[in-house]
Every structure is written in structure tokens, then in C-alpha cells.
Amino acid sequence: MNSNFLNEFCRDWLAAWTGNNPEKLISFYAPDIFYKDPAVAKGIRGCEALLAYLKKLLAKNPDWVWQPLEILPTEPGFVLKWQAEIPANGHVITVEGLDIVELREQKISRNEVYFDRSLLLHPTQVNPSSAK
């Protein structure tokens, strides 16, 4: 994979996670997408189902911000190490995680998301040193 393409793709894709615009975000995904994150451990198949999930998720988190930290190209796509700043309970929680992404015709056909969501499940127990 071309590193310039991956850098631009990740920048635009992560920016689409901010601002509660699920229609923009879903445009990055292939029609037969397989998506998995800690909240949907069995995964979601297809754009229609993913769009329904994203509408709820983004509506709850319109102000979170995602930044790429490291992009590791793979044969079918890339692994992305990212950082998210997520407003919760009067704090901004900083979370790091990884995505495994496969691309087909410049669309995401597989997206598996891995991170520790314990701070998100219990935002009242935020460690002040990990909150901004």
C-alpha cells in the first residue's frame, strides 16, 4: 500500500468519526463490510446494519476526536494505532487503540477495532491523570 494514500485515507476517515455525520462515515465502507468493536463483539455485516449502529454511536459521541498515531501497511490494508479524545462526565478521556483494516477498491471491507473501554463504561471513575 502506498504510504501517502494510507496517510490521507486515515486522516479523512478518522475525521469522519467526528461531528455526528454517519452518512459521511459510511461512505468509507464497502457494501459487504464486516465491522467489529468491543461493543459488538460478534460483529456487524453490511452497510445498512453498520449505518444503523453508527447513527446511534455518533449521536452519543458527536464531539470525540480521533488522531492516527501510527499506520502499519499490510498486504490487504493496514493496522492503525490511534488516539481518541472522548468527552465523558465533564472530562475528556484519552483512549488509545488499534484497528485492523482491509481495503478493497479503496473502501473498507473489514474493520476490527480493539481498545480497553473500561474508562468509557465507568466515566465517573476517571483517573485525573488520564483525563484532560
The alpha helices in the chain, defined as continuous H runs, are 3-15, 22-26, 47-60, 118-121
Domain CATH for 51: 3.10.450.50
Report the percent of the chain where pLDDT is more than 90: 82
10-51 pLDDT, tens digit each:
999 999 999 999 999 999 999 999 999 999 999 999 999 999
Report the predicted TM-score, pTM, of the whole model to 2 decimal places: 0.88
**67 or 130, which is more confident:** 67
For residue 126, which phi and psi values (nearest 5 degrees)?
-65, 130
Structural domain of 21: 3-130
Q: How many domains does the chain have?
A: 1
Spatial distance between the Cα atoms of 22 and 8, rounded to a whole number of angstroms:
19
